């Protein structure tokens, strides 16, 4: 079964947020702060207001009313304080995009600038221990005595890895189209990963009852976390529409996205590992240093993988955060696991070399019986199976561990392995199924951001109802549909699928209508450790002349419960792995210490992988039967593909070139100048 929306997507008819035809639409264009910290003394909008087609200028001079509950990045124009360079400080509304943009360029904002600080370091005096880390995990955990474990170890390593600011960069820029109807109801077409949560946030921000807001997001051009929370442009569109009494459309530019739609925090991660003479871990310590803004606290859960991955008598994981004069970081594909597993799995490779062990065998040897951080049993865990299957397919047995010795002309060749993990959770959602002219209508406010949600929910409904998929019509992407969790945390299909499954069961009692609300069912789920696992194998070529690194082969083997649709699953896995390849070799946003803010805010300078970077990419999986997950027996697959990829590639680069780069991305500069 091909993607249900395939035809509308290939014919150009699929409608994304900024593309709904609305009578009398106007255009808003934001003005961004040019200082990194300070206070707005004055906004002079006279010249802008005199420009052709300009309808309004919004700013903190006359703060448009929002509810007292409006918070963080969404409390637009409510304060005169500037928290970071690039923050939205004003906006112009005009009859055309060209007029709005031209007028925005002449809005004069006078600042009282203050000294700013945008530099993350492990020595920063402002570092503190956040109360929890995203999405509510304990900040620091541990058991046993790490120092004693290290002291008793036959082999130890103490290494620090750094990762840069990374940007989600979905292909569709964040966009919203808003209007207020005759009854005062607010309609927002939004590039959003969750219509229900988007509606709730917008309602709270404007002090409206939830049913006075409708959010529609039928097609979303990728998000990777950055559309998981409502972004300022949605509030701005609604605010501006109220101001001018007409529909307002705003599509952020690619440059603006870098500032106001979230990013992955840079990390500094220190790993200390010890192993006994056999290679069994005696201690594992993972401390992550990260940043957030002064607007909001976002603490990425970077050190959590150590709580899941390997058995050890002594474990310590900790997070330290500093609030800088920077934009607010947020979710980017596999927050926590992605950067954390880059460091942990690189460190495991270093430990294997230090101990003279095979990196696959080291991981197998330390595979735990129960979840190390909690002591809970796993609902299922097949990391060892993934490692073994990958090793078989990659001919790992014949690998010479010696680094820096395989050469093909200018190219040094190496292979590397890393493990992957991602939690398998689900969240309460509601669904309704009804019979309609011999067909079955399934309604749920789910989101399809490219995952294939519409398609897989159709399959779940058809199988549960025992009918053909083409008899089932699934309606999603609208907050007027039954409330659903957002597309995030690899929880979409598990959450929505559970609701659709139960609604279909309910339907079968009378054949007319079925309802489900999975809140109670999920509350009763047993206390188990539920995670997907995987193993990534990379073969890289490192050019000895130029320092260029090319990935010649990438293989992911995953154990993620029951795979419901092989085609969609493969696409998710390889997509995640491709983003991991970008993280390993090219992705980086430059923080401008002198002026604050980011530089290279475009796709010419922030390189995401191009087609030519991805020659040979395979994703396979081990089918798992796990009845402790959800009615489908599935684990989420949207994020695990990116987890471990960068480590596998980095480990392969070490194997090829013979020196370890501990600072992403691994660019020619760092290959050519090892101390760069």
Partner 1 sequence: MKQFEYARAASPADAVRRFEPGTMYLGGGTNLVDLMRLGVAQPDRLVDVSHLPLDAIEQDGDRLRIGAAVRNTDLAAHPLVRVRYPMLARAVLAGASGQVRNMATIGGNLLQRTRCGYYQDVTRPCNKRRPGSGCPAIEGDHGNLAILGASDSCVATHPSDMAVALAALGAEVHVTGPGGDRVIPMPGLHRLPGDTPERDTVLEPGDLITAVELPAPPPGPSIYRKVRERASFAFALVSIAAALDLRDGVVRDCRIALGGVAHVPWRAERAEQALIGGQATGEAFLAAAEAELELARPLPRNAFKVPLARNLIVRTLEELAS
Partner 2 sequence: MDITLQVNGVSRAVDVDPRMSLLDLLRERLALIGPKKGCDHGQCGACTVLIDGRRANSCLALAVAMDGSEIVTVEGLAEGEALHPLQAAFIEHDAFQCGYCTPGQLCSAAGMLGEPGPSAVTEDLRADPELTPAEIRERMSGNLCRCGAYPNIVTAIAEVAP
639 tagged catalytic: yes
Judged by CB under 8 A, does residue 571 bind partner 2?
A: yes
Query: Measured from the CB of residue 583, what is the shortest distance to partner 1 in angstroms?
Result: 13
- Least Å distance between CB 172 and partner 2? 4
CB of 111 to partner 1, least distance (A): 12
Nearer to partner 1, 130 or 582 (CB): 582
| Smallest distance from partner 2 to CB 259, Å | 15
Binding test (CB under 8 A) with partner 1, winner from 592, 616, 623, 627: 592
- Per DSSP, the residues of 118-179 read ----TT-TT-B--SEETTTEESSEEES-HHHHHHH-SEEEEEEEEE-BB----SSPPEEEEE
- Residues 97-126, one symbol each (x = binds partner 2 by CB under 8 A, - = not), give xxx--x------------------------
Separation CA 626–CA 543 (nearest Å): 45
Please select the residue that binds partner 1; options are 595, 616, 623, 627, rule is CB under 8 A: 595
Examine residue 612 and tell whether it contacts partner 1 (CB under 8 A): yes
The yes or no reply on residue 105 touching partner 1 (CB under 8 A) is yes
3-class DSSP assignment, residue 217:
coil
Q: Which of residues 213 and 568 has its CB atom nearest to partner 2 in the complex? A: 568
Q: Considering only residues 615-634, where is the footprint of partner 2 by CB under 8 A?
A: 615, 617
Q: Rounding to the nearest 10 degrees, give the CA dihedral for residues 242, 247, 252, 257.
A: 50
For residue 191, give the nearest of 4, 428, 19, 443 by alpha carbon: 19
- Please tell me what DSSP assigns to residue 88: E
x/- letters, 387..416, toward partner 1 (CB under 8 A): -----------------------x------
b/e code 136-152 from CB counts within 10 Å (16+ = b): ebbbebbeeebeebbee
Instruction: Strands of 70-121 (E only): list them.
Output: 81-82, 88-94, 108-113
Q: What span, in angstroms and rounded, lies between the C-alpha atoms of 345 and 342?
A: 6
By CB under 8 A, residue 254 contacts partner 1: no
Q: For residue 471, how far is the Cα from the chain centroid?
A: 34
Dihedral of CA 181/73/58/258: which sign? Answer: negative
Residue 672 binding partner 1, by CB under 8 A: yes
Residue of the chain from 86, 274, 305, 452 that contacts partner 2 (CB under 8 A):
452
Q: Which of 434, 608, 620, 672 binds partner 2 (CB under 8 A)?
A: 608
CA 314, chain centre distance (Å): 30
Q: Indicate which single residue of 492, 609, 631, 641 sits in contact with partner 1 (rule: CB under 8 A).
A: 609
Q: Using CB under 8 A, which of the segments 220-228, 334-342, 443-451, 660-668 binds partner 1? A: 660-668
Name the strand (E) or helix (H) holding 489: none
Q: In angstroms, what is the minimal distance from the CB of 221 to partner 2?
A: 3
Q: Which does 254 bind (CB under 5 to 8 A by kind): partner 1, partner 2, none?
A: partner 2
Cβ-based nearer residue to partner 1, 185 or 255: 255
Find the binder of partner 1 among 607, 618, 659, 663 (CB under 8 A). Answer: 607
- Could you tell me the CA-to-CA distances from 77 to 30, 68, 187, 232 in Å, in that order? 11, 13, 21, 11
171 interacts with, out of partner 1, partner 2, none, CB within 5 to 8 A per kind: partner 2
Report the interhelical angle of 566-585 vs 337-355 (nearest 10°).
70
C-beta of 301: minimal distance to partner 1 in Å? 29
- Residue 11 interacting with partner 2 (CB under 8 A): yes
602 binds partner 2, rule: CB under 8 A: yes
Give CA–CA dist 471/438, Å, rounded. 8
Alpha carbon distance 73, 230 (integer Å): 9
Partner from partner 2, partner 1, none contacting 650, C-beta within 5 to 8 A by type = none
Report the candidate in 649, 623, 617, 657 with the shortest Cα–Cα distance to residue 637.
623
Catalytic residue among 297, 345, 588, 639: 639
Q: Is position 585 an interface residue for partner 1 (rule: CB under 8 A)? A: yes
Q: Does 449 bind partner 2 (CB under 8 A)?
A: yes
Exposed e or buried b per residue across 486-522, where buried means at least 16 C-beta atoms within 10 angstroms of its C-beta:
bbbbbbbbbbbbbbbbbbbebbeeeeeebebbbeebb
Per-residue interface string for the shown chain with partner 1, residues 23-52, x marking contact by CB under 8 A: ---------x-x------------------
> By CB under 8 A, is residue 590 in contact with partner 2?
no
DSSP H helix total and E strand total for the chain: 16, 28
**d(C-alpha 165, C-alpha 262), whole Å:** 10
**Closer CB to partner 2, residue 25 or residue 159?**
25
Give 311 or 547: the residue with its C-beta nearer to partner 1: 547
Of these partners, partner 1, partner 2, none, which one is at the site of residue 66 (CB under 5 to 8 Å by kind)? none
Site string for partner 2, 206-245 (x = CB under 8 A): -------------xxxx-x---------------------
d(CA 88, CA 76): 7
**Site membership for partner 1, residue 368 (CB under 8 A):** no
Instruction: Answer left, alpha or beta for residue 479, where phi above 0 means left and psi between -120 and 50 means alpha.
Output: alpha
Strand order in the sheet with 248-251: 54-59, 88-94, 26-32, 248-251, 175-180, 186-190, 213-216
- Of 89 and 424, the one with the shorter C-beta distance to partner 1 is 89
Torsion on CA atoms 65, 218, 330, 348, rounded to nearest 10: 170
Which partner from the list partner 2, partner 1, none does 188 bind, CB cut-off 5 to 8 Å by kind? Answer: none
* 288 vs 568 by CB, closer to partner 2: 568
Q: Is 343 helix (H, G, I), strand (E, B) or coil?
A: helix
15 in contact with partner 2 (CB under 8 A) = yes
Q: How many residues bind partner 2 (CB under 8 A)?
A: 60
Q: Which of 593, 616, 623, 627 forms a contact with partner 1 (CB under 8 A)?
A: 593
CB 415 within 8 A of CB 453: no
Do 345 and 644 form a contact (C-beta atoms < 8 A)?
yes
Q: List, as one string, the DSSP characters of 644-661.
A: THHHHHHHHHHHHHSS--
Size of the site for partner 1 (CB under 8 A): 39
CA 86, 89, 90, 91 dihedral sign is: positive
Could you say which of 385, 404, 428, 668 contacts partner 1 (CB under 8 A)?
A: 668
Site for partner 1, rule CB under 8 A: 32, 34, 98, 101-102, 105, 410, 545-550, 585-586, 590, 592-595, 599-600, 602, 604-605, 607, 609-613, 665, 667-670, 672-673, 676
Which residues carry out catalysis? 639
Residues that bind partner 2 (CB under 8 A): 2-3, 5-7, 9-16, 18-19, 21, 96-99, 102, 169-173, 219-222, 224, 251, 253-254, 449-452, 567-568, 570-572, 574-579, 602-604, 608-612, 614-615, 617
């Amino acid at each position: 079964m091909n993607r249900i929306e395939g035809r509308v997507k290939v014919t150009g008819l699929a409608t994304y947020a900024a593309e709904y035809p609305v009578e009398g639409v106007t255009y808003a264009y934001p003005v961004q702060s040019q200082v990194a910290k300070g206070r707005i003394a004055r906004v002079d909008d006279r010249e802008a207001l005199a420009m052709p087609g300009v309808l309004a200028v919004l700013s903190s001079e006359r703060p448009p009313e929002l509810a007292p509950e409006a918070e963080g990045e969404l409390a637009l124009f409510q304060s005169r304080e500037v928290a970071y360079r690039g923050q939205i400080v004003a906006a112009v509304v005009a009859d055309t995009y060209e007029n709005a943009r031209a007028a925005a360029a002449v809005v004069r904002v006078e600042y009282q600038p203050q000294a700013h600080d945008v530099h993350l370091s492990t020595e920063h005096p402002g570092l503190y221990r956040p109360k929890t880390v995203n999405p509510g995990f304990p900040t620091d955990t541990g058991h046993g005595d790490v120092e004693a474990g290290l002291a008793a170890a036959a082999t130890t390593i103490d290494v620090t890895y750094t990762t840069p600011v990374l940007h989600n960069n979905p292909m569709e820029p964040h966009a919203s189209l808003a209007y207020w109807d005759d009854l005062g109801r607010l309609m927002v077409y939004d590039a959003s990963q969750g219509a229900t949560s988007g509606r709730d946030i917008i309602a709270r921000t404007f002090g409206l009852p939830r049913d006075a807001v409708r959010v529609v997001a039928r097609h979303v051009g990728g998000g990777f976390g950055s559309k998981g929370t409502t972004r300022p442009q949605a509030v701005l569109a609604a605010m501006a529409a109220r101001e001018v009494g007409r529909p307002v459309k705003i599509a952020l530019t690619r440059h603006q996205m870098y500032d106001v739609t979230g990013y992955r925090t840079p990390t500094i991660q220190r790993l200390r590992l010890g192993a006994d003479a056999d290679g069994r871990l005696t201690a594992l310590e993972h401390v992550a240093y990260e940043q957030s803004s002064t607007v909001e606290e976002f603490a990425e859960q970077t050190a959590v993988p150590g709580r899941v991955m390997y058995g050890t008598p002594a474990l310590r994981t900790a997070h330290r955060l500093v609030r800088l004069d920077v934009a607010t970081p947020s979710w980017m594909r596999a927050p926590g696991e992605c950067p954390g597993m880059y460091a942990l799995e690189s460190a495991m490779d270093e430990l294997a070399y230090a101990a003279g062990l095979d990196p696959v065998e080291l991981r197998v040897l330390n595979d735990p019986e129960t979840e190390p951080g909690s002591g809970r049993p796993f609902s299922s865990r097949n990391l060892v199976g993934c490692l073994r299957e990958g090793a078989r397919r990659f001919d790992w047995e014949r690998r010479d561990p010696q680094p820096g010795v395989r050469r093909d002309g200018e190219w040094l060749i190496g292979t590397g392995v890393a493990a992957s993990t991602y939690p398998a959770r689900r969240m309460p959602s509601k669904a309704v199924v009804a019979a309609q002219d011999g067909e079955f209508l399934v309604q749920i406010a789910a989101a399809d951001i490219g995952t294939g949600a519409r398609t897989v929910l159709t399959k779940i409904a058809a199988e549960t109802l025992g009918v053909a998929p083409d008899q089932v019509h699934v309606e999603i992407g609208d907050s007027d549909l039954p409330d659903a969790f957002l597309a995030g945390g690899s929880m979409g299909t598990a959450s929505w699928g559970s609701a659709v499954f139960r609604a279909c069961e309910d339907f079968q009692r009378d054949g007319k209508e079925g309802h489900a609300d999975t809140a109670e069912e999920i509350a009763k789920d047993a206390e188990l450790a539920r995670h997907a696992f995987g193993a990534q194998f990379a073969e890289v070529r490192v050019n000895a002349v130029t320092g260029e690194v090319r990935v010649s082969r990438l293989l992911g083997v995953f154990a993620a419960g029951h795979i419901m649709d092989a085609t969609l699953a493969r696409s998710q896995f390889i997509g995640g792995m491709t983003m991991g390849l970008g993280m390993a070799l090219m992705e980086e946003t430059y923080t401008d210490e002198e002026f604050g803010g980011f530089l290279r805010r475009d796709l010419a300078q922030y390189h995401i992988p191009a087609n030519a970077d991805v020659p040979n990419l395979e994703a396979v999986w081990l089918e798992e039967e796990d009845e402790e997950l959800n009615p489908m027996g599935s684990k989420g697959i949207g994020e695990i593909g990116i987890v471990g990829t960068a480590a596998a590639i980095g480990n392969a680069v070490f194997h090829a070139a013979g020196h370890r780069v501990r600072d992403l991305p691994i660019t020619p500069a760092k290959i050519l100048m090892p101390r760069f």
